[in-house]
Amino acid sequence: MASKKKLDLVHKLAAEVRDYPIVGVVNMQNLPATQLQRMKIKLAKNGISIIMTRKRLIQRALTESKKANIDDLSAKVKGMPALIFTRGNPFTLYSLIQKNKSKAPAKAGQIAPRDLMVAAGPTNFAPGPIISELAAVGIKTKVENGKLAVIQDTVIVKEGQAISQKVSETLKRLDIQPMEIGLDLVAVWENGIVFDAKQLHIDDAEFVQNIAQAATWAINLAIEAAYPTTDTAEMLVQKAFRDAKAVGVEGAIMTEETRDDILAKSEAQAESVKNEAHLE
């Protein structure tokens, strides 16, 4: 039978889950205690709290909260888990956690967080035993200007696979640090929907570019539809002037604005007739 202390903790967690609009699950495996403390302080400054306890108690609290589809979040609990709470939004939470991670070398036995790839290109290694070491993990090389070069991009560990001792040593020699030290956000619940962490990733530069592109498309559409706004009024007037002038030139309607273009067009036509008739 569960102790009163554990039951009280479950009730407290369930109350927190019910109270917050955003509830996430994080995995703190391999996270140093000092970095965890720094992260908790930074999260607290952003109105984000984190509560750590055993996996079974977290799952019981989630179930007790009776939120819609909360069992989908419960199924994501893994490793050394904790619940994280915020009144912001899942994307901001993910971004904050990612920005406070640091690079680390891969250790044997760790699970690859993504496909680990060695990019094609030159290395600092001279030909020697390193050729067979790289080949042993699937990396093909050739000699260029007295140094080894990787022939093609090569995935040496698939996402979710364990990293071997040989691969770990190879990555260190290539100065590749594929691991990240920090809170590992696994999934987030909002309004009955559970988002995996990957779904919350937003490339800031790409996002800004997409907004700029959308604005350009909107203006082009408004211009084509002759829809006047503060942003399109001047361009619409310019377009109307160009269109009217083109009609005037085509119809040989002489005005101060069309005169030079009509004369230039007439001269070009006359020159064309002269050339076709072989006139001197």
**DSSP code string of 217-248:** HHHHHHHHTT---TTTHHHHHHHHHHHHHHHH
**DSSP code string of 130-145:** HHHHHHHTT--EEEET
**CATH class in words for 4-101+182-201:** alpha beta
- pTM for the full predicted model: 0.60
Reduce the DSSP state of residue 88 to 3 states and report it.
Answer: coil
Helices (runs of H) and strands (runs of E) counted in the chain: 10, 12
Q: Give the start-to-end residue ranges of the domains of the chain.
A: 4-101+182-201, 116-179, 207-276
What is the third-level CATH fold of 116-179?
Molybdopterin biosynthesis moea protein, domain 2 (3.90.105)
The alpha carbon torsion through 159, 161, 162, 167 (nearest 10 deg) reads: -70
In order along its 280 residues, the chain shows pLDDT tens digits of: 468 888 888 999 999 999 999 999 999 887 878 888 888 888 889 999 999 999 999 999 999 999 999 999 999 999 899 999 999 899 999 988 888 888 888 888 888 888 888 889 888 888 888 888 888 888 888 988 888 888 998 898 898 889 999 989 988 888 888 888 888 899 999 999 999 998 898 777 777 888 888 988 998 898 888 888 888 888 888 888 888 888 887 888 888 888 787 787 777 777 777 677 666 6
Token pair of 209, please? Answer: 């570019």
Token pair of 223, please? Answer: 């211009």
Q: Phi/psi at 72 (nearest 5 deg)?
A: -65, -35
